[in-house]
Amino acid sequence: MTLRAGREFLAIPGPTTVPDEVLRAMHRPAVDIYDGPLLALTDSLHRDVARVFGTKGRAYIYIANGHGAWEASLTNVLSKGDKILVLESGRFAVGWGENARRMGVDVEILPGDLRRAVRPEEVEARLKADTGRTIKAILVTQIDTASGVVNDIPAIGEARRAAGHDALLMVDAVASLGCMPFEMDAWGVDIAMAGSQKGLMMPPGLGFVAANERARAVHKTAGLRTPYWDWTERESDLHYLKYAGTPPEHMLFGLRQALDMLFEEGMDNAFRRHRLLAEATRRAIEIWSEGQALGFNIVAPHERSNTVSVVLTPGCDPDALRAWCRENCGVVLGQGIGALSGKAFRVAHMGHVNAPMLLGTIGVIEMALGAMGVPHGTGGVGDAIAWLGKQVGTV
Ligand SMILES: *Cc1c(COP(=O)(O)O)cnc(C)c1O
């Protein structure tokens, strides 16, 4: 006998829950791609994607996942043999850099640690040491979903400024856009990229890149440009060329709905919702950790992200725990990935998530810990509920 009937809840850090309103917006016939309302839709989406990134620069919408948007950002500003600096803090910046390496870019990794954020002072020191100004770009993630870390992007932008270096600052915001502040222009970010399937509440399939004037100037002489990703091609007035071919119409209908929902909630409120649900999760994890069988991957509390919590499991089998939650209760937790494979589980609190979804998820984890006999401090979920209640207050 299990308790899994009803809607399965996907608590993995992407793809995330797609709102019914978004699914409905996509459920309609195709339309003309050369004329009519689709043209205005494209304009509104380019404008609003740029708004979400916090830039007056341009946004580009690709039929791609995050890896595609990585490639789009690299090909548009780099040339073979260029040197870039990758700031390690988990898996994803390094993965992005690895793609650059395979394209013929000279990649240096500023070594980090899976359990902490990038240190801006180390970035500043490395850039200052680059007296010949050979580093053309810096790659970093805002939130790394493998480690659960959040990097301080404004401080990294400030480090570059303090070093007087002109390398392009390129940020992976796949796991953070729409969930926490991202102010591309104010923070000195030149290029940012994201995908549709995480904080933006869409199915996988759209990749986004935003670029400021500086990046677009570098673009003019980039040697790695290819027809599909090319910004210049996509800046054409011809609608067809804005997507380098047939527009992903249904994804665009869905994206319009998802962005409308985000704006209707208010981005600040969405950020606050993520912060509160993340903090409630962390309160439960903190108490469970008293049993010494599990604990946070990210050591410093202020470096733990508001979209995913990565839990190390030295005293239990994380995959057995995940299987218990899925099979008995219909909650799908994320597995540890990369170096944390088999050593951690991940709880996403990202995108279209509210209190019952989150409390249900951590309630099921606490059930599993009890049922499986994993030593843990008791009352974690109760503490999360009490804390959350105080934050939300009375209506
Ligand atoms: C998910 C993720 C990616 C990769 O996105 P795909 O759509 O799977 O290609 C890149 N960076 C970060 C930080 C992610 O969380």
For residues 165 and 58, state if they share a domain: yes
For residues 228 and 86, state if they share a domain: yes
Which among 336, 332, 304 has a CA at the least distance from the CA of 318? Answer: 336
323: amino acid identity, one letter: A
Residue 108 CB neighbours (<10 A): 14
Domain boundary among 226, 247, 263: 263
Residue carrying structure tokens 């309160």: 283
Low-confidence residues in the chain, pLDDT < 50? none
CA of 14 to the centre of ligand 1 (A): 8
The whole-angstrom separation of Cα 131 and Cα 63 is 39
Residue 209 CB neighbours (<10 A): 28
For residues 258 and 270, state if they share a domain: no
- Closest-CA residue, ligand 1 atom 6, reads 66
For residues 336 and 383, state if they share a domain: yes
The share of the chain scoring above pLDDT 70, in percent, equals 99
The whole-angstrom separation of Cα 256 and Cα 261 is 9
Token representation of residue 126? 């490395």
Phi-psi region of 334 (alpha: psi -120 to 50; beta: other; left: phi over 0): beta
Q: What is the C-alpha R_g of the chain?
A: 21
For residues 218 and 293, state if they share a domain: no
Atom of ligand 1 nearest to the CA of 143: 13
Query: Is residue 332 one of the residues assigned to a domain?
Result: yes
Residues 6+ apart with CB under 8 A from 72: 60, 62, 64, 193, 207, 209, 229
- Closest-CA residue, ligand 1 atom 4, reads 66
For residues 245 and 220, state if they share a domain: yes
144: amino acid identity, one letter: D
Query: Is residue 2 one of the residues assigned to a domain?
Result: no
CA of 192 to the centre of ligand 1 (A): 13
Answer whether 205 contacts ligand 1 (Cβ < 6 A): no
For residues 60 and 185, state if they share a domain: yes
Containing structural domain, residue 240: 31-263
Q: Is 387 helix (H, G, I), strand (E, B) or coil?
A: helix
Answer whether 151 contacts ligand 1 (Cβ < 6 A): no
For residues 251 and 275, state if they share a domain: no
Give alpha helix (H) positions in the chain. Answer: 20-26, 37-53, 66-77, 92-102, 120-129, 153-163, 184-187, 213-219, 231-234, 239-242, 249-265, 267-288, 318-329, 355-371, 380-392
In this structure, what CATH number is given to the domain that contains residue 339?
3.90.1150.10
Answer whether 67 contacts ligand 1 (Cβ < 6 A): yes
For residues 101 and 192, state if they share a domain: yes
Kindly report whether the global pTM for this prediction surpasses the value 0.95. Answer: yes
Domain boundary among 263, 291, 325: 263
154 φ, ψ (degrees, to nearest 5):
-60, -35
CA of 68 to the centre of ligand 1 (A): 10
Which among 82, 56, 251 has a CA at the least distance from the CA of 167? Answer: 82
Query: Is residue 75 one of the residues assigned to a domain?
Result: yes
CA of 305 to the centre of ligand 1 (A): 15
Query: Is residue 21 one of the residues assigned to a domain?
Result: no
- Closest-CA residue, ligand 1 atom 3, reads 66
In this structure, what CATH number is given to the domain that contains residue 117?
3.40.640.10
Residue 236 CB neighbours (<10 A): 11
The whole-angstrom separation of Cα 98 and Cα 105 is 9
Query: Is residue 306 one of the residues assigned to a domain?
Result: yes
Query: Is residue 23 one of the residues assigned to a domain?
Result: no
CA of 70 to the centre of ligand 1 (A): 9
CA 11, 52, 113: angle at the middle one, nearest 5? 55
Token representation of residue 258? 């998802």
Q: Check whether the bond before 15 is cis (ω within 30° of 0).
A: yes
Q: Which helix (H) or strand (E) holds 311?
A: strand 308-312
In contact, 159 and 120? CB cutoff 8 Å: yes
**212-262: per-residue pLDDT in tens?**
999 999 999 999 999 999 999 999 999 999 999 999 999 999 999 999 999
For residues 212 and 317, state if they share a domain: no
Count of domains observed in the chain: 2
Query: Is residue 299 one of the residues assigned to a domain?
Result: yes
Residue 31 CB neighbours (<10 A): 15
Domain boundary among 234, 263, 292: 263
Query: Is residue 81 one of the residues assigned to a domain?
Result: yes
**Ligand 1 site-directed mutation target among 98, 145, 151, 174, most atoms within 8 Å of CB:** 174
List, as one string, the DSSP characters of 334-385. EEP-GGGTTTEEEEE--SS--HHHHHHHHHHHHHHHHHTT----S-HHHHHH
Which among 61, 2, 13 has a CA at the least distance from the CA of 350? Answer: 13
